[in-house]
Every structure is written in structure tokens, then in C-alpha cells.
Amino acid sequence: MLNLSQNGCSVWVASSTEGLLTPTAVALGKFDGVHLGHHRVIQPVLHAGDRLSVAAQGLVPVQESNDNQQLTADEGQLTNKERTYSTVVTFHPHPQEFFTGQPRALLTPLDEKVQQLRSLGVEQLVLLPFDKELSALSPEDFVEKILVQQLQCQRISVGHDFCFGKQRRGTARDLQLLAAKYDIPVTIVPLQTYTDSAPTQEIPISTSLIRHSLESGDIKNANLLLGRPYSLIGVVVQGQQLGRTIGFPTANIQLPQDKFLPRKGVYAVRVSILSKTSDETVPQPQNLGVMNIGDRPTVNGTCSSVEVHLFDWSNDLYGKKLAVQLVEFLRPEEKFPSLEALKTQIQLDCTVARKLLSVD
């Protein structure tokens, strides 16, 4: 049975390849983070139906692959093509989770991934069940059974380092050659890079690099690579309410279990309260504040929590859904000798955060 929903927005989300919107223009990959490099891989399949239709009339050349070849579509081949649906195809669970048996925290859990894809103009997200059967497919079978027969691909886009099929034997170039047998053009997108300042060098943008930046508290670098602020999105739940006893009430945020958390400590943040309007999540005006991620050692905390203190805010937030944008890491978590010392430090954190956020 196809599990197909709109997940609160206009992207179709499917956990099966039956009953999909076809034919498709497909961007293939894991896409955790939907970062700037992923944007480049997705771009060629957006509105691909319109481009193919125009190319079929011999009006515009279609550019392909890393060889910078100009391929003009054969008029007879592409005339009367049906509309194609821009589709991102990824895997669930994450392949690393399947092979290791260990849960993998994600930069963008499903709801966030859908939101980001929707903002790019993607129409459909397909979650291929990554299981023993799929992992055993040869590159040839993956192309024939998944891309051709089930997804009815008309166009494919992948990153330069894309690998697929049993034991990751298939490369992006292999995909291009195999798909050519079915007259499916494949765009191979070069790795997106950014310039590191010390020493100056071109570094590929990757999910692992973003995770490393977040783990080390380098929020500015993570946000640069993502092309947007890294966000924690969750519902405000009942906490221990210790913050209000020292004059700094906090909202305790419950996040998806598979959300990747950055370094423990205190952050300057911008916060939006999300509301439902016509089944769409609409961000409200942003509020400024500080956030703590950690175990709260000063008050003998027993589990990790994410707590946000909003400046100049007095209304009730319980049950509200918040989107917390991380702007800058202020300091690591530490244990203070008393609540009074903790209060003094939080006051300093708020002063520093206000200054940072007012000029950011």
C-alpha cells in the first residue's frame, strides 16, 4: 500500500515507487542537509518538462555532464513528451544506518527535508526503502528496475561523487552510460566548493563537513555551507521550570529523535513561532534570544535538553512549534558553583547575544 501524503505542503512524499507522479525528472542522492551542493544537483530537474519540450522543437540546446557537451535533442525523440515531475529520490533509512545498524542523526529529518525541497520547487520526494533487496541490486538492475520501469525517468541529475548499486560499484559516469541505453540524459554536477581562508583553498561542500562544523561550534561556517541558518524545529513542552526561578524563563523544545544536535553550549538565536494557516507552516516575525543545549550540570540535570530564552517575551509558549535559527556559538556548557553564578553568566550571555544579533 502506497504511503502518500502531502506532509503539510505541496511536495508529494512517497515510501514506495507504486502510484507515483510519472514520468519523472530525477535528482538522485542522500540530500541530508539540502545544502548548497545539493541545490546544484537538484536545479537541472526543476521544470525539466518545460525545457525538454522546448528542446524537442530544436530551439534550445540541452547541456549535459562534466564534459560540457552540448546535446541538441533530436526532434523526433522528444516531441509530444508528457509533463515530467521534478522528483528527488533518496533512501530510507540512511544507507549508513542500514549497514551499521546504528541510528543516524540527520541535519534534515523528513519534515525539514520536505520543507527545504518545497522551497526549491521540487514536486515529489521518493524514499526508496533501503533494505537487503535494494542494496543487492547491480548498477544495471538499479537503472532498469528503479529508474526506468518504476520511476519512468526522462532525465537524471547526480553529483560528481555519486555511487550506486551493490557495494557502491556504479559511478556517476556508469550511470550516464547505462541510462544512455534508454535515451535518458544524465547531468553530472561538479562538486560545489567554497574558499577556506586559512590557508586559502577550495574545499568541497559536503554533509560531513557541515556536521563537523556544527560539532565544533563553528555555526557561521555551517550556515555558509547550508546557504541558510541551521535550525532546530520542535514543539514547546513542559520542563522543570527552573529558569523562571532565576529570572530567565525558558521554552523546552522537543525535537525529532533523529535530529542532529550541534555542540553542547549556549547560542545566540533567532526564533520564529510557527502557526498553521491553510495547511501550510507559516513563519511569524522573528524573536531574539539565547539557547542552551546540554545536560544543565549546575542543577544536576539528568538528560540533555534544548532550552530557549526569548528576550522581551512574556506570553505562554506551551504547545507552540518553534523554529530556532542558530546564529553564533557563545560558549560551551559548564557547571557553576551556584545558581547566582549561573544567573550572572546568563545575563552576560544575553548582553553578548543582543549585541551580536543587532548587527548580524
Chain centroid offset of residue 77 CA: 36
- Which homologous superfamily does the CATH classification assign to the domain defined by 213-359? Riboflavin kinase-like (2.40.30.30)
- Give the pLDDT confidence of 173-194 residue by residue, as tens digits: 999 999 999 999 999 999 888 8
CA distances, 55 to each of 71, 187, 221 (Å): 10, 15, 40
pLDDT at 182: 97
Domain chopping of the chain, boundaries: 4-190, 213-359
What distance in Å separates the CA atoms of residue 57 and residue 51, rounded to the nearest whole number?
10
What distance in Å separates the CA atoms of residue 144 and residue 139, rounded to the nearest whole number?
9
pLDDT at 242: 65
Chain centroid offset of residue 6 CA: 17
Residue 203: band (very low, low, confident or very high) from pLDDT cuts 50, 70, 90: confident
- Give the pLDDT confidence of 151-177 residue by residue, as tens digits: 999 999 999 999 999 989 999 999 999
**Which residue, among 73, 69, 68, has the nearest Cα to 53 in the 3D structure?**
73
- Give the pLDDT confidence of 15-68 residue by residue, as tens digits: 766 778 999 999 999 999 999 999 999 999 997 655 544 443 333 333 333 333
Q: Is the dihedral of CA 11, 227, 333, 340 positive or negative?
A: negative
Residue 148, classed as helix, strand or coil, is helix
> Any idea which fold 4-190 has?
Rossmann fold (3.40.50)
pLDDT at 288: 95
Q: To which residue does cell 550516464 refer? A: 176
What distance in Å separates the CA atoms of residue 235 and residue 320, rounded to the nearest whole number?
6
Q: Rounded to 5 degrees, what are φ and ψ at 72?
A: -90, 125
